[in-house]
């Protein structure tokens, strides 16, 4: 159908056109002039479109004719404007597909571009900046055997009071310990300056309590013990309002984000029946228990469901008697979202008495012994939702959430613990990045 109509247009245009062959093209446009692909042009700068986050990208279009012509702009296949020229502000860094569709019924012309959205500023910390956490914006652990204990919840404590307790525990180089509980539990931390992203260097370290097993019954195993990886997110305060806005967050892509099958223990975990998938859109909901159960019901203590069709119970154990559900949370159920990492825990005794939680290669919190280089993070590992590196100039806020959903027998759930954050540049610690 469309081809036939286009042909009729062409024939009528040709007949009209022949009447004006002796005149200039500008003067002789018949109505309607049928656009050819080369009749529309866009001012693409050398090197393509580059724009800073939160600043306007302006794209000018010139066309031989606008007669009966409509314009549509798409970014990553989503319609964003129906104007001839485009003005658009990008809120997130990364590379985007920009498409202009020019319609002159029944003709449709398409022009494709790339836009690179960057952060332009350079960050220099002020004199006297402290290397450690100075603010806690939010803290909500998931269900866990240390939840309500690290830090201690006392009857009536509010969210603000719990945040204060976390700051008093892990802020300002106190090096106490807080738990994030099972999958998804998180803490959001801030600083008195922007942590610089120095090119080619790691920039900060998240302190946890990971350690290696000293008597793994499996003699040929890679490093592991109590490695309970937390996924790290970072935010640059691009709009300078002093708070982490939802669109300012990027995730640090650690080793399993790149390729979980390269973890040294991967085949062991497969053989053990672990779920070794990495889910980028994982979501879990925990249901508050109505009361603390009698011992015979510890195995069905706190019900959970995820968005992959799995469900189960977080169990209570003999070592921790308090409620495992965060008691200052408003609702009787609580949901967490994020990237779920492969299950890294294996019972190496085969008798439920020696669980080893294996170490991911790099890029997570509470996954490596604090003194080692691979607790340190390069801000350049931050990626957007499409997995593209975004090269932030620095980081004002760091969020960590527990990255594995796994129960490990008497050891309990895999739960990330945090003891602090260190700005390596302020401390004068020099660690090269790694690929």
Residues that bind Ca ion (CB under 5 A): 197-198, 201, 203, 209, 228, 237, 239, 241, 245, 366, 378-380, 417
Residue 214 or 296 having the CB closest to Ca ion: 214
Would you say how long the chain is, in residues? 435
Shortest Å distance, C-beta 228 to Ca ion? 4
Residue 302 or 379 having the CB closest to Ca ion: 379
> Does a cis peptide bond (omega within 30 degrees of 0) precede residue 151?
yes
Among the listed residues 358, 355, 348, the one whose alpha carbon sits nearest the alpha carbon of residue 210: 358
Residue 201 or 316 having the CB closest to Ca ion: 201
- Cβ atoms within 10 Å, residue 33: 21
Shortest Å distance, C-beta 237 to Ca ion? 4
Shortest Å distance, C-beta 238 to Ca ion? 6
Give dist(CA 407, CA 143) in Å, integer: 12
Give dist(CA 301, CA 6) in Å, integer: 69
Residue 368 C-alpha from the chain's centroid = 21
Pairing verdict, β 49-52 and 107-118: parallel
Residue 120 or 299 having the CB closest to Ca ion: 120
Shortest Å distance, C-beta 216 to Ca ion? 17
Shortest Å distance, C-beta 201 to Ca ion? 5
Residue 197 or 388 having the CB closest to Ca ion: 197
Residue 241 or 318 having the CB closest to Ca ion: 241
Residue 203 or 368 having the CB closest to Ca ion: 203
Residue 59 or 234 having the CB closest to Ca ion: 234
Shortest Å distance, C-beta 424 to Ca ion? 9
Q: Is 214 left (phi over 0), alpha (psi -120 to 50) or beta?
A: alpha
Residue 242 or 312 having the CB closest to Ca ion: 242
Residue 323 or 404 having the CB closest to Ca ion: 404
Shortest Å distance, C-beta 26 to Ca ion? 50
Shortest Å distance, C-beta 6 to Ca ion? 50
Residues 6+ apart with CB under 8 A from 428: none
Shortest Å distance, C-beta 369 to Ca ion? 11
Residue 209 C-alpha from the chain's centroid = 23
Shortest Å distance, C-beta 143 to Ca ion? 15
**φ, ψ for residue 166 (rounded to 5)?**
-65, -45
């Amino acid at each position: 159908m469309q081809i036939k109509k286009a042909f009729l247009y062409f024939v009528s245009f040709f007949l009209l056109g022949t009447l004006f062959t002796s005149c200039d093209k500008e003067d002789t446009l018949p109505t309607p002039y049928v656009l050819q692909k080369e009749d529309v042009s866009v001012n693409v700068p050398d090197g393509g479109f580059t724009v800073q986050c939160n600043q306007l990208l302006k794209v000018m279009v010139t066309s031989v004719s606008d007669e009966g012509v409509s314009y549509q702009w798409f970014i990553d296949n989503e319609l964003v404007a129906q104007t001839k020229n485009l003005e658009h502000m990008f809120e997130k860094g990364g590379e985007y597909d920009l498409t202009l569709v020019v319609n002159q019924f029944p003709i449709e012309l398409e022009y494709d571009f790339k836009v690179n959205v960057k952060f332009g500023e350079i960050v220099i910390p002020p004199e006297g900046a402290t290397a450690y956490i100075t603010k806690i914006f939010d803290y909500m652990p998931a269900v866990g055997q240390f939840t309500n204990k690290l830090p201690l919840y006392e009857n009536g404590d509010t969210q603000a009071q719990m945040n204060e307790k976390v700051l008093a525990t892990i802020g300002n180089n106190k090096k106490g310990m807080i738990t994030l509980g099972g999958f998804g539990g998180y803490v959001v931390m801030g600083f008195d300056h922007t942590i610089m992203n120095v090119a080619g260097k790691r920039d900060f370290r998240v302190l946890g309590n990971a350690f290696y097993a000293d008597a793994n019954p499996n003699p040929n195993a890679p490093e592991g013990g109590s490695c309970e990886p937390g996924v790290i997110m970072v935010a640059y305060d691009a709009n300078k309002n002093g708070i982490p806005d939802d669109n300012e967050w990027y995730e640090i892509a650690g080793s399993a984000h790149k390729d979980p099958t390269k973890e040294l223990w991967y085949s062991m975990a497969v053989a053990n029946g672990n779920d070794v998938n990495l889910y980028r859109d994982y979501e879990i909901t925990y249901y508050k228990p109505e009361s603390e159960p009698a011992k015979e019901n510890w195995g069905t203590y706190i019900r959970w469901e995820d968005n992959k069709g799995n469900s189960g119970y977080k169990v209570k154990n003999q070592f921790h008697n308090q409620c495992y559900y965060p008691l200052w949370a408003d609702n009787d159920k609580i949901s967490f979202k994020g990237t779920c990492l492969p299950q890294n825990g294996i019972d190496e005794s085969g008798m439920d008495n020696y669980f080893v939680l294996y170490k991911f290669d790099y890029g997570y919190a509470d996954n490596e012994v604090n003194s080692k280089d691979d607790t340190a993070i390069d801000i350049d590992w931050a990626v957007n939702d499409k997995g593209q590196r975004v090269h932030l100039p620095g980081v004002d806020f760091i969020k960590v959430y527990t990255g594995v959903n796994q129960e490990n027998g008497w050891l309990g759930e895999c739960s990330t613990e945090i003891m602090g954050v260190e700005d390596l540049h302020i401390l004068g610690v020099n660690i090269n990045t790694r690929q």
